[in-house]
Amino acid sequence: MQTKILLPESEMPTHWYNVIADMPNKPAPYLGPNGQPVPPEAMLGIFPEALVMQEMSGERWVPIPEEVREVLRLWRPSPLYRAHRLEAALQTPARIYYKNEAVSPAGSHKPNTAVAQAFYNKQAGIKRLTTETGAGQWGCSLALAGQMFGLEVRVYMVKVSYGQKPYRRSLMQTWGAEVFASPTDMTAAGRQILKAHPDSEGSLGIAISEAVEEAAGRADTNYALGSVLNHVLLHQTIIGEEARKQMKLVDEYPDMVFASCGGGSNFGGIAFPFFADKATGSNVRLVAVEPSSCPTLTKGVYTYDFGDAVGMTPLMKMYTLGHDFMPPGIHAGGLRYHGDSALVSQLYNEGLIEAVAVPQLETFEAGVLFARTEGILPAPESNHAIAAVVREARECAKSGEAKTLLFNLSGHGHFDMTSYDRYFSGQLENYEYPEAAIQESLRHLPKVG
Ligand SMILES: *Cc1c(COP(=O)(O)O)cnc(C)c1O
């Protein structure tokens, strides 16, 4: 009975997979304030040319630079596990596999793109990077990557998380980054928010506005985004490519692939390489899992909206809850984003992938069951994928179907123990679906065309 399915370093993928090559329709373009498609040059103020090219590319395979592979080899290829003990606890005939991205130094999948982004910025002569972080996973990942390539990193951390996750902050500082609680009074965007809401706990959208503003204002500084954009999803496809090879090693292929979905890079990372198989007749179902309190795909609208809170980014056609939607302070900080990747959104809109929303208590229940069977303590974000897999495995127990289920364990939860404490002491709640707040926010959608 094999538990870990390992790939040797020599089998680490040499190219990223670009799902755009296999999408039935071209992605909707990003639009500027005038409603016209944004020319690539317009993005050069905050991104290096190589990443702008990747953002627009339709090439199926994009080579991974050797310098990037060298750093990724510190933890990649990551192991694939068969969850024998979880299966036994659920008394399910389903076969459950998970890819473990918690083995990266920062403890999640996010360094896969952080390393690539830091490399291309370094190559372009950039000295500093700014970014936002919610729970701190992305800030840590970029801090780590900045260290690897000798770049300064400044992180705007959502205020509510800055208070809840002090050790994430220390980890970023260990890797040499500067960290500020957002909204700050250091940027016009931050000051504008503080004027309207002096007690603002911040949001990813606000922190993005601050980081973008700073990068746009300095020639030596670029901005790095941890999810949402096409090039970020591209860099994460190394997860699904490895998983596909690993499943092949044990003669398996998934019926369903699950991943938690905030901005979409975790989901795209594991799911897109399997999407490629649909062209050759695979019926694999790809399921994005989100919180019921921030139900972007399942309750949002598919329209053009800003990626940030104050409207500095281009307009992206995506599922959105409105760019000024303030999600409840749930404990999966990485999933509190009002929008979603344009690629994930378009595939969902065309019925090519699926989405489900799960309430907070069910996610922790599933995460604790996972820790007690498989041993690894998952990040609250990852608990969403686990909860959806547990639901499906229980269905299999009822129907007797032996489905093969694969999910991405996007990170460990060692810095999230306050959230687990709350769960154990009964203080964690299921937030109601914030319909009124979403309706209010949707009223402020930008008018296009
Ligand atoms: C950020 C994060 C997610 C969500 O990632 P997206 O790519 O934005 O969907 C999921 N799990 C963990 C552990 C994360 O840190």
pLDDT in tens, 128-139: 999 999 889 999
Instruction: Please report the pLDDT score of residue 326 as a whole number.
Output: 81
Is the CB of 296 within 6 Å of ligand 1? no
Nearest-CA residue for atom 14 of ligand 1: 334
CATH class of residue range 71-107+236-442: alpha beta
Q: Is 203 in the pocket of ligand 1 (CB under 6 A)?
A: no
Average pLDDT over residues 381-409: 98
236 lines ligand 1 (CB under 6 A): no
Between the alpha carbon of residue 448 and those of residues 167, 276, 306, 350, 443, the distances in Å are 42, 32, 11, 21, 13
Distance CA 365, CA 373 (A): 12
Ligand 1 proximity of 382 Cβ (cutoff 6 Å):
yes
Q: Please tell me the predicted confidence (pLDDT) of residue 449.
A: 59
Mean pLDDT for 308-334 is 86
In the predicted model, what is the mean pLDDT of residues 13-21? 98
Ligand 1 pocket: which of 110, 131, 336 to mutate (most atoms within 8 A of CB): 110
pLDDT (0 to 100) of residue 178: 98
Strand partners, 318: 303
Give the C-alpha separation, 176 to 173, whole Å: 5
Ligand 1 atom 8: residue of nearest CA: 263
Q: Whose CA is nearest to atom 2 of ligand 1?
A: 334
- Beta strands 80-82 and 95-100, pairing class: antiparallel
CATH 3.40.190.10 fits 111-225, yes or no: no
264 Cβ below 6 A of ligand 1 = yes
For the chain, the average pLDDT equals 95
In which band, very low, low, confident or very high, does the pLDDT at 230 lie, cut at 50, 70 and 90? very high
Query: Does the beta carbon of 334 sit less than 6 angstroms from any atom of ligand 1?
Result: yes
The Å distance, Cα 440 to ligand 1 centre, comes to 26
Listed in order, the ranges of the chain carrying CATH 3.40.50.1100 are: 71-107+236-442, 111-225
pLDDT, tens only, 183-217: 999 999 999 999 999 999 998 889 999 999 999 99
Does the CB atom of residue 110 touch ligand 1 within 6 A? yes
Helix (H) or strand (E) holding 390: helix 380-399
> Does the beta carbon of 356 lie inside 6 Å of ligand 1?
no
Q: How far is the CA of 399 from the centre of ligand 1 (A)?
A: 32
